[in-house]
Structure 1
Amino acid sequence: MDFDQLYKEQFPVVYRYLTGLSGNQALAEELTQETFCRAIEHSASFQGKCRLSVWLCQIGKNCWLSYLRKAKRQAGDEALEQMTSPQNVEEDLLIQENARQIHQRLHALPEPYREVFTLRVFAELPYMQIGELFDKSENWARVTYYRAKQKIKEGL
């Protein structure tokens, strides 16, 4: 399969995935382009152990995370300027505390709950692909995700 055909077939999948992650169509388009550039550079690393769309989405997720790290560094000073009122500080502290508790509960989960939850929430993979990654069924992925979510809620 040549690159043009690959691009035509896989662009919609990667673009939808990155639009879901970023919530921004223009950014998703830019990240999709970056994804395909990286895929070309590292095409030798594709071993065929997963579907091509999963591999491309993983590259796309890495592009998204790189973008977030870069944006976070650039926005550091702006965030400090916005935290002027005590109400904002209090709200931010409550949000941070809640996020910290969820983070602790998530990392206290045994495998495979932690990994399934992470793949579903942060990577936004469909249950079918999660099941494939574990050599299990789609239903197994749904049940495992539900149980992970319940275990996290129990601790809050």
Structure 2
Amino acid sequence: MTEPRVQGDPAFALLGLYEKALPKVYGYLLARCGDRVLAEELTSETFLGAVAACRKENAPPVSTAWLIGVARHKLADHWRRTEREQRGLRLVPSPGVEDPWDERIDALRARQVLASLSVPNRAVLTLRYVDGLSVSDVAAHLGRTVHATEALLTRAKTAFRRSYQGKEGRDD
């Protein structure tokens, strides 16, 4: 008689990767949200979500890149939740604004301006210009249509530009 074989928990693959991946996942989230406490919470959610995901059938192989992808989804989920809470606030697009978006900008000032924007604006700009996602990928992450995402991106760039230009010469 053969002894039954016990199949190991696939979540144990995360244990070997945890110490190596933790600073990268946390750094990724902190750079995008700018809030230490929020980055810690999202990092925790990322690893909890990863444990659940790797226990499913046909789970992808566990890697740091995969964990960063899970973190990106957790951050997008956070932005969606926050947007729902602030749904009453909507920006109206400004007609006739030129688009010098490709100009070089001061990174520290840009980070301050980005942090001051509404959650939907911050989310669309971060996913598009910091993470380098295409508009269709940004739309998928935010649960919007491509056209709605393009409109949001236009409004977000306008809001960013106004705030950025307003911060020139100020020391806050």
TM-score, length basis structure 2:
0.45
Bigger radius of gyration among the two: 2
TM-score, length basis structure 1:
0.49
